[in-house]
Amino acid sequence: GVGAAAAITLLPSVATAQDVDAAINAFTGGADTSPDGITLIAPEIAENGNTVPIEVDAPGAEAIILLAAGNPSPDVATFNFGPAAGAQAASTRIRLAGEQDVIAIARMPDGTFLRAQQEVKVTIGGCGG
Amino acid sequence: GNWARLAAQQQLTQDDLIGGGGSGNVTLVHITDIHAQTQPLYFREPEFNLGVGEMTGLPPHIVGADFRAMYGIEQGSAMDYALTYDDFVSLANAYGRMGGVDRIATVVNAIKADRPEALVLDGGDTWHGSLPALRTEGMDMVQIMNALGVDAMTSHWEFTLGSARVNELIENHVNPAFLGANIFDAEWDEPVFDDYRMYERGGTNIAVIGQAFPYLPIANPSWMFPEYSFGLRRERIAEVVQQVRAQGAEVVVLLSHNGFDVDRKFAEDIPGIDVILTGHTHDALPEPVQVGNTFLIASGSHGKFVSRIDLDVRDGAMQGIEHRLIPIFSDVITPDPEMAALVAETRAPFEAEMSEVIGQAGSLLYRRGNFNGTWDDVICNALISQRDAQIALSPGFRWGATVVPGQNITREDIFNATAMSYPAAYRSEMTGEFLKLIMEDVADNIFNPDPYYQQGGDMVRVGGMGYRIDPAAEAGNRVTNMTLLETGEPITPDQTYVVAGWASVNEGTEGPPIWDVVENHIRELGTVNIEPNNSVDVVAG
Amino acid sequence: MADNVTPRVRVPREASAGDVVSIRTLISHPMESGQRRDGDGNVIPRSIINRFTCDFNGENVIDVTIEPAVSTNPYFQFSAVVNETGTFNFTWYDDDGSVYEETADITVA
Ligand SMILES: [Mn+2]
Ligand SMILES: [Mn+2]
């Protein structure tokens, strides 16, 4: 069933498109990104906006940055892979302040960048078949 | 009357309904979404079952005359009664009740007599939805499904008994394999239950993979099973498919509680699944839906149907499929005496309580369809009158037996529409802005054009408030013209309204159980007559 | 300083040379974001784990920069390649200057 009013907490202001662009540029230096060679796995609908499982995978990457475009601040985490990494892939759990795009950008050793993104819905919940 | 009923039923025989031997060398029996309905019942199929986006006009999003035309079903026939909504009352009178697990047992036994190695698979929503299941915390249905010889099951409402109870039942009482490849430990992100079970039948290796309802912690109270995480996890399911193929599976079956549209997309996105036994959305289709090399089976709900699926497996691959949607006409199929005795035993402690007559049905009471059914209107009216509210919200559940006009409404009937483990009928104040947020949020969970963003279920049922909805509009802009019916005034964002509802997913919700609210309301009315509800205006484009 | 900060790791005990092994780590920590207010309306100061590293026999596996958007009890899953028997060193860095460490041994055949 639909939740009573207690389900909603008002959130602080969210990041602007400029904030998101600035966070991306800080990592890419303004370089173009390609959509191939990077995988971002996120749930379509978050079970709980306070702990959303996210998986990123970009074979061969030096580093992957994770951003949440609709949070008060878009930065989430940066994964730097060392020589003993078994794969350039990692999973974590993140906070999402409402429905938004999660973005992953990988920096490759040749100086190019890869980008993946997915919309994650955060819902009040209730009801069912 | 009785004469018409006799004439209609004389056309039907048990042997015709069950059918003869099938082709192939692997037989599956599928039952799903029984919702603890052990007794024959009436269940009216939906008048509104809108598909959106790519799913528009595709099965199962067809109803009534379109449904009959697509499947060559004669108007007024037994299958018309079983599968569509129109003329329901007179057809119900002619063909009688459907379902009953004692009749299902007869059908399963007949299939097993023909194919002793048939696999019996239960798609979940089994341990919930009736008074005995609520009182025994699912034990009655566990015993019944054990006796039916179910080989494997998956789950949804089962978890609303709480994870401790689910685990206790699985450890000590449940015979079927409890499968859920998408159920993970929330802390360490590890699978909790068995992903699949391999069966060898007549020299053929069959893998049955289980997929529980992906959105359990959203659609139902997550505090009841906090240690588990669910989700679609299609990458994981794709991995498990590869794994079972590598282990020699010649046929891969997904026993799913995803809902039909999600399963249709799974069939497109995950290679290597031969058959998806769908559940959750309660659709019944007389033929498989083929998507690429995958066949989707929809076996209805509430025990109305049993699917028999015969697969022809040769040279390590599925070569053919034959499906029979067997309608359980309760007056035509003889009850299995052993199952009838077991069911009677499970009901005995509650018989007196359940059989008490609370009122009479003056009009048809049903709940199935995208918007309010008449049972929903009864519940909303009860919430408004008994909880002194301006607006009532009732969840868009797809379960609940139908009551036909002239029938007594017993306490059992009320529980069939309300029995669940978080029944508190709350009363709270909500702003117009918050009401709009709820309506839009729920609408997007049903009408999002991408099935992966849908939860199944139907639109929240509303009393005391009218609105206009365009399911095809963008998220946040579907619902307009929200109006308070008692005054005819528009709902305004800043104003506060008294709202009563039930089935909140929030822990600590307070209020009397919804069945008491509905019972008190029906007692006051005596006879329940529901006028056609025109307060929801559905527009397209 | 955050109370009861407990790191936990899951690492296979054995592997063959050249295997890629999956590693999971959890540390109990409130990850106070700095964006919440207390009952009196005062901002609760930020207090998070801001960096996590894993090394194997002195060679880096992963080095993570962490922002307040990472959930309470930060969880990381990643993989390492192991060519010889050795020790994984895990280190979490707290805003308050605390450093939490954990190790896990693996035998490589
Ligand atoms: Mn169901
Ligand atoms: Mn369900």
User: What share of chain B in percent tops pLDDT 90?
Assistant: 92
User: Is residue B478 over pLDDT 90?
Assistant: yes
Give the tokens for residue B57.
Answer: 């006009």
For B:187-246, CB contacts with C below 8 A are: 187-189
Q: Between chains, do A52 and C71 touch, taking CB under 8 Å as contact? A: yes
B431, A8 contact by CB (below 8 A): no
Q: How many CB atoms lie within 10 A of CB B319?
A: 11
**Ligand in nearest proximity to the CA of B230:** 2
Mutate to test the interface with A, among C25, C67, C73, C108 (most CBs of A within 10 A): C67
Question: What is the C-alpha separation between B170 and B142, in angstroms, rounded?
Answer: 9
Tally the domains of chain C.
Answer: 1
Q: What are the residues facing B166 on neighbouring strands?
A: none
Average pLDDT over residues B184-206: 95
Strand C49-56 and strand C86-94: the pairing is antiparallel
CA B123 – ligand 1 centroid, Å: 9
Mean pLDDT of chain A: 88
- Residue B138 backbone zone (phi > 0: left; psi -120 to 50: alpha; other: beta): left
Does some domain include residue C101? Answer: yes
pLDDT at site B329: 97
- Confirm whether the ipTM is greater than 0.85: yes
Mean pLDDT of chain B: 95
Picking from B186, B428, B504, the nearest residue to A1 by CB comes out as B504
Q: Between chains, do A1 and B501 touch, taking CB under 8 Å as contact? A: yes
B280, B259 contact by CB (below 8 A): yes
pLDDT at site B2: 54
Minimum distance, in Å, between the CA of residue B191 and any CA atom of chain C: 14
First to last CA, chain A: 11
Question: What is the C-alpha separation between B342 and B325, in angstroms, rounded?
Answer: 26
Does some domain include residue C79? Answer: yes
Instruction: Inform me whether the C-beta atom of residue C6 falls under 8 Å from chain B C-beta atoms.
Output: no
Question: What is the C-alpha separation between C9 and C20, in angstroms, rounded?
Answer: 16
User: Is residue B198 over pLDDT 90?
Assistant: yes
pLDDT at site A125: 67
Neighbouring chains of B at 3+ CB pairs within 8 Å? A, C
Q: Which residues of C touch B226 (CB under 8 A)?
A: none
Instruction: Inform me whether the C-beta atom of residue C78 falls under 8 Å from chain B C-beta atoms.
Output: no
CA B156 – ligand 1 centroid, Å: 8
Smallest Cα–Cα separation from A98: which of A66, A121, A125? A121
pLDDT tier at B4 (50, 70, 90 boundaries)? low
Q: Between chains, do A86 and C20 touch, taking CB under 8 Å as contact? A: yes
User: Is residue C108 over pLDDT 60?
Assistant: yes
Minimum distance, in Å, between the CA of residue C37 and any CA atom of chain B: 23
Q: Which residues of B touch A101 (CB under 8 A)?
A: none
**Which one has a higher pLDDT value, A3 or B465?**
B465
Give the tokens for residue C51.
Answer: 């960096």
Cβ burial, residue B473 (10 Å; 0-12/13-18/19+): middle
Q: How many CB atoms lie within 10 A of CB B515?
A: 23
User: What share of chain B in percent tops pLDDT 70?
Assistant: 98
pLDDT tier at B3 (50, 70, 90 boundaries)? low
User: Is residue B193 over pLDDT 50?
Assistant: yes
Gyration radius of chain B over CA positions: 22
Q: How far is CA A96 from CA A105, B470, C25, C69, in A?
A: 18, 28, 21, 7
Q: How far is CA B428 from CA B218, B388, B504, B506, in A?
A: 21, 11, 12, 13
pLDDT at site B264: 97
Does some domain include residue C70? Answer: yes
pLDDT tens digits, residue range A16-33?
A: 889 999 999 999 999 999
Q: Is the pTM of this model over 0.90?
A: yes
Q: Between chains, do A3 and B429 touch, taking CB under 8 Å as contact? A: no
CA A106 – ligand 2 centroid, Å: 39
Does some domain include residue C1? Answer: no
C104, C7 contact by CB (below 8 A): no
User: Is residue A9 over pLDDT 50?
Assistant: no
Question: What is the C-alpha separation between A54 and A41, in angstroms, rounded?
Answer: 6
Give the tokens for residue C58.
Answer: 């002195």
User: Is residue B42 over pLDDT 60?
Assistant: yes
Phi, psi dihedrals of residue A56, rounded to the nearest 5°: -125, 150
Give every CB contact of residue B274 below 8 A, 6+ residues apart in sequence: B251, B252, B253, B293, B294, B295, B311, B318, B321
Domain that holds residue C66: 6-108
pLDDT at site A2: 43
pLDDT tier at A79 (50, 70, 90 boundaries)? very high
CA B368 – ligand 2 centroid, Å: 13
User: Is residue C27 over pLDDT 90?
Assistant: yes
Neighbouring chains of A at 3+ CB pairs within 8 Å? B, C
pLDDT tier at B20 (50, 70, 90 boundaries)? confident
Q: Between chains, do A7 and B506 touch, taking CB under 8 Å as contact? A: yes
User: Is residue A11 over pLDDT 70?
Assistant: no
CB pairs under 8 A between A and B: 124
Neighbouring chains of C at 3+ CB pairs within 8 Å? A, B
User: Is residue A3 over pLDDT 50?
Assistant: no
Average pLDDT over residues B16-22: 88
User: Is residue A4 over pLDDT 50?
Assistant: no
Minimum distance, in Å, between the CA of residue B226 and any CA atom of chain C: 15
Q: Between chains, do B455 and A48 touch, taking CB under 8 Å as contact? A: no
Does some domain include residue C38? Answer: yes
pLDDT tens digits, residue range C53-90?
A: 999 999 999 999 999 999 999 999 999 999 999 999 99
pLDDT tier at A123 (50, 70, 90 boundaries)? confident
Q: Which residues of B touch C77 (CB under 8 A)?
A: 189
Question: What is the C-alpha separation between C55 and C86, in angstroms, rounded?
Answer: 10
CA A129 – ligand 2 centroid, Å: 4
| B188, closest residue in chain C (CA to CA) | C24
Mutate to test the interface with A, among B220, B454, B455, B498 (most CBs of A within 10 A): B455
Minimum distance, in Å, between the CA of residue C13 and any CA atom of chain A: 16
Residues B448, B453, B455, CA angle at the centre, nearest 5°?
95
DSSP chain A: ----GGG----PPPPPHHHHHHHHHHHHTT--EESTT-EEE--SB-S-TTSEEEEEE-TT-SEEEEEETTSSS-EEEEEEE-TTEEEEEEEEEE--SSSEEEEEEEE-TTS-EEEEEEEEB--------
Give the tokens for residue B266.
Answer: 């799974």
User: What share of chain C in percent tops pLDDT 90?
Assistant: 83
Average pLDDT over residues B169-198: 97
pLDDT tens digits, residue range B132-157?
A: 999 999 999 999 999 999 999 999 99
Give the tokens for residue A60.
Answer: 């061969």
Residues with CB under 5 A from ligand 2 (ion): A 129; B 125, 156, 280
Minimum distance, in Å, between the CA of residue C75 and any CA atom of chain B: 8
pLDDT tens digits, residue range B373-428?
A: 999 999 999 999 999 999 999 999 999 999 999 999 999 999 999 999 999 999 99
User: Is residue B1 over pLDDT 50?
Assistant: no
Give the tokens for residue C78.
Answer: 């990643």
Chain C residues whose C-beta sits inside 8 Å of any chain A C-beta: 20-22, 33, 35, 55-57, 59-72, 74-81
Picking from A76, A77, A85, the nearest residue to C79 by CB comes out as A85
Average pLDDT over residues B335-348: 98
| C9, closest residue in chain B (CA to CA) | B188
**Which one has a higher pLDDT value, C38 or A119?**
A119
Residue C46 sits in a domain of what CATH number?
2.60.40.10
Question: What is the C-alpha separation between B399 and B139, in angstroms, rounded?
Answer: 20
Q: Between chains, do B259 and A129 touch, taking CB under 8 Å as contact? A: yes
- DSSP class of residue C20 equals E
User: Is residue A128 over pLDDT 80?
Assistant: no
Average pLDDT over residues B200-223: 95
Mutate to test the interface with C, among B184, B185, B189 (most CBs of C within 10 A): B189
pLDDT tens digits, residue range B259-314?
A: 999 999 999 999 999 999 999 999 999 999 999 999 999 999 999 999 999 999 99
